[in-house]
Amino acid sequence: MNQDERMFSIGVQNINLKEFSQKGRVLDIGGGGEGIIGQLLGEKVIAIDPRSDELEEAAEGPLKIIMDARELKFLNKTFDGVTSFFTLMYIEKQYHQKVFEEIYRVLKDEGEFVIWDATISQFPGGIKDIILVPLEIELKDKKITTTYGVLWNKAQQDMKYYIKLGEKIGFEVITKEEMNQTYYIRFKKKVSI
């Protein structure tokens, strides 16, 4: 960190994934690093990330592929589920619609898109600030403590923003939950006519 940067933490967020499950084949957007969804669902997961170092760091289990979520290299209606575990905050807002369109395309009808992410308020401008999102994640058999950090240079992003975007693309909300400074959204792809 240089002298022009300041860090702001939103405080420790608890994420309980003990009961989370997903049927069929799952595409995990941004599945590198800790690879939480890959740790949870193992070989059912195809984890993509544009950075090879992030994928190399992730635990064994899922198939790992270097790929950008803005241009998914999969056929239409390939996946039963898609997940994004604290990944959208790293994607520039100008690309969110394209990413959602690609996810919608590769999901089977009635497939689910599940998001966990942090509420990021409007950047006030000025110094380059970094938002830290410390997490305590409970999986079925262990607890993981980690912190994600992103430059605070984006417009506001919250649950309402992603719900509006998802509905615009053609998703319907099945479940939504705000938890302190984080949220969880489970979308379903409507059946094509």
User: What pTM, to 2 d.p., does this model score?
Assistant: 0.91
By the 8 A CB rule, do 9 and 120 touch? no
> Does 91 or 6 have the greater pLDDT score?
91
- pLDDT tens per residue, range 125-180: 655 678 889 999 999 999 999 999 887 765 668 999 999 999 999 999 999 999 88
Q: Which residue stretches of 26-148 are H helix? A: 36-41, 52-57, 96-106
What whole-number percentage of the chain has pLDDT above 90?
Answer: 76
Within-domain flag for 10: no
Which H or E run contains 71?
A: none
Residue-number span of the structural domain to which 72 is assigned: 21-120+156-189
Within-domain flag for 147: no
Within-domain flag for 113: yes
State how many domains the chain has: 1
Within-domain flag for 115: yes
Name the amino acid, one letter, at 59: A
Domain of 109, CATH number, reads: 3.40.50.150
Burial of 47 (0-12, 13-18, 19+ CB in 10 A): buried
- pLDDT tens per residue, range 48-76: 999 999 999 999 999 999 999 999 999 99
Label residue 14 by pLDDT band (50, 70, 90).
very high
Rounded CA separation 121/138 (Å): 26
Within-domain flag for 4: no
Collapse the DSSP code of 111 into the 3-class scheme (helix H, G, I; strand E, B; otherwise coil) and give the result: strand
Within-domain flag for 97: yes
Within-domain flag for 182: yes
